[in-house]
Amino acid sequence: MNNYGINIWADDNFIIEDAQVKLNYLSKPSLLDITKEVRSSGLKGPLILRFPHLIEKQIKTLFSSFKRSIKETSYKGSFFAVFPLKVNQFPELINSIITHGKAFNYGLEAGSKAELILAMARTSKDAPITVNGFKDQEMISLGFMAAQMGHNITLTIEGLAELETIIKVSKSCKLKIPSIGIRLRLHSTGSGVWAKSGGADSKFGLSATELLEAINLLKENDMLEHFHMVHFHIGSQMEDITPLKRALREAGNIYAELKKMGSTGLRSINIGGGLAVEYAQYQEDRLKTYTLEEFSNDVVFLLGEIMDKKGVEHPDIFTESGRFIVASHAVLITPVLELFSQDHQEKSLRIKDKNPPLVDELIDLNKTLNAKHSIEYLHDALDHMESLFTLFNLGYIDLQDRSNAEILVHVIIKKALLLHKNNQNNELQKLQAALQERYLINASIFQSLPDYWGINQHFPTIPLHKLDQPALLPASLWDITCDSDGEIGFSSKSPLYLHDVNLDEEEYFLGFFNVGAYQETLGMSHNLFAHPSECTIEIHQNGYKIKNINESQSLLKIMSGLGYDENQILIQLKNSLARSSFITEEEKSDTLQKLELYLYQNTYLRTTN
Ligand SMILES: Cc1ncc(COP(=O)(O)O)c(C=O)c1O
């Protein structure tokens, strides 16, 4: 993997040029240049770079694909889309969604009261708002307020009780009644990790019997005209298109039946989200088996076919794809702080005047190792190592001899691996994997890559630079939390190889890609590490502009977020320092200044990188 699979996961958004990762857009800036410029202001720790042009690209791609499918099949309905806020609610991203979505009337989907307020505040009156998830009377009343304000809002009910509450609220106030949607509990299930979002035992939606009851309830209360939408969602990151086709046939037929039963207000089908993103770095790990073109063709063609057969007008189509829209827009950059090397460097050798004979032999093997005899010498070295361990355990050699032996064998293995780097057999591959290097990254996996921790989701990982030099060290990544789960272990199936770097002399940055969906909102402050610093990068023909740099929360702020009183913490620390003995008043004052500085710095490590 000399290009880190960039041709698989990057969707042409990033390229490798001049040994660096660059944006494949306009002036093609390098991620390293951007990172260094942002950090030049003194900002330390992990960094999220947002690229709004990638959001624009995804929105345009989605809408134009459906437009084309609709045109090609002479479909009579229209296409609409909303962005599900749960995927990422950070303001800079939502601003981009609103700005670039305007031309398409792109709307927002809300799943909670707070998200609904956000949608009401940020959506223009023409763009649709859909509301999913469980709702109480207050949330339903908020929906009525939104309708009264002129929003094009649909409250999708997840159960009959919600419908009863809508009816109750409509009778108790004079506010405009919002559109009503009904989530279908389909028999069809999805595929992949989130398949349980669909199917008969799914947490959400109404069964056929409940659906009929809902229609009766609406009729009895003279509200059937407000029933505008049926909705389903079979799960995120759909790997395969077949389950969606099954769900479309089921939902399409339900829609047609409801129309024929007199649901005259009904005019749209919302197919939820689920469009997958490619995260793989190796061909054999690819999971997504369809293209956007196939997806939009299938949706439009199948719905058209069902409606034509049943003599029903083509419905408008809504999607709620989130991951597809925003995953690519954010890159997490982490400095490497340290290499916890198993690599015992030759410079640490302390050869004695008189060594045990086996150590002398190792010295000789190391000196004379060549391409022709490398495997033979490697086997001799491994053999000697075993013998030397036994001698140490029996007390015949000392710790310095053992250390020298470890270093020499290690160096011999590395030399042999290098000589055979293009034709490694099983034995050499195993040795290579055992020589893993641990790279300590200035980030928290729990905060920035929670799906790796929770569901083992791989995120494409690549050094931002040095890409013209061999990266031969099998790498495990350690984060800075004190939790052994904070590690992305080396996988021999999909190995990550990184460079041998001397961090005293140069910086080394890793980029984690496609992290724009779910990671920021699911991220947790384990060990009190806060959301990373972030900024937005606008790329122009002749350069780029760094905008909206938001530094990660300070130590005091993250504590106050938990409910601690910032002032009280400050006072307690100051008092403790004032009462301490054995230092002068001047030293106390210096220490206090330092302490205050630390408290207002962000939660990540600063000294090394
Ligand atoms: C109802 C609903 N709509 C849309 C989505 C967004 O899905 P995705 O991000 O996979 O497109 C979800 C997420 O699971 C969802 O539950």
Amino acid making up residue 494 = S
Query: Which of 61, 62, 86 for mutating ligand 1's site (highest number of atoms within 8 Å of CB)?
Result: 86
- Alpha-carbon distance values, 95 to 99, 165, 264 (Å): 6, 33, 36
b/e burial code for range 53-72 (CB count within 10 A of at least 16 → b) = bbbbbbbeebbebbeebbee
In this prediction, residue 200 has a pLDDT band, given cuts at 50, 70 and 90, of: low
- Residue bearing tokens 């197919």: 271
DSSP calls for 28-71:
--BHHHHHHHHHTTT--S-EEEE-HHHHHHHHHHHHHHHHHHHH
Q: Which two tokens stand for residue 580?
A: 């301490």
Q: Which residues line ligand 1 (CB under 6 A)?
A: 84, 87, 132, 197, 233, 236-237, 272-275, 320-324, 517
The pLDDT tens digits of the residues spanning 24-76 come to 999 999 999 999 999 998 999 999 999 999 999 999 999 999 999 999 999 99
Q: State the Cα–Cα distance between residues 337 and 606, nearest whole angstrom.
A: 9
Nearest CA to ligand 1 atom 12: 273
Q: How many angstroms does the Cα of residue 458 sit away from the middle of ligand 1? A: 19
Q: How many angstroms does the Cα of residue 85 sit away from the middle of ligand 1? A: 9
pLDDT at 434: 75
Q: Which two tokens stand for residue 162?
A: 């919600």
Nearest CA to ligand 1 atom 2: 272
Contact status, residue 202 vs residue 127, Cβ threshold 8 Å: no
pLDDT at 609: 45
CB count within 10 Å of CB 219 equals 14
Mean pLDDT, the chain, integer:
94
Nearest CA to ligand 1 atom 13: 236
| pLDDT of 469 above 70 | yes
Query: Which of 59, 82, 87 for mutating ligand 1's site (highest number of atoms within 8 Å of CB)?
Result: 87
pTM of the predicted protein model = 0.90
pLDDT at 418: 84
Sign of CA dihedral 273, 254, 290, 243: positive
Q: How many angstroms does the Cα of residue 158 sit away from the middle of ligand 1? A: 15
CB count within 10 Å of CB 311 equals 9
In this prediction, residue 256 has a pLDDT band, given cuts at 50, 70 and 90, of: very high
Q: How many angstroms does the Cα of residue 195 sit away from the middle of ligand 1? A: 12
Among 392-401, 410-419, 515-524, 568-577, whose mean pLDDT is lowest? 410-419
Query: Counting atoms of ligand 1 from 1, which one is nearest the CA of 324?
Result: 11
Query: Counting atoms of ligand 1 from 1, which one is nearest the CA of 518?
Result: 9
Nearest Cα to Cα of residue 300 among 80, 76, 69, 68: 69
Q: State the Cα–Cα distance between residues 278 and 289, nearest whole angstrom.
A: 10
Contact status, residue 315 vs residue 304, Cβ threshold 8 Å: no
pLDDT at 426: 84
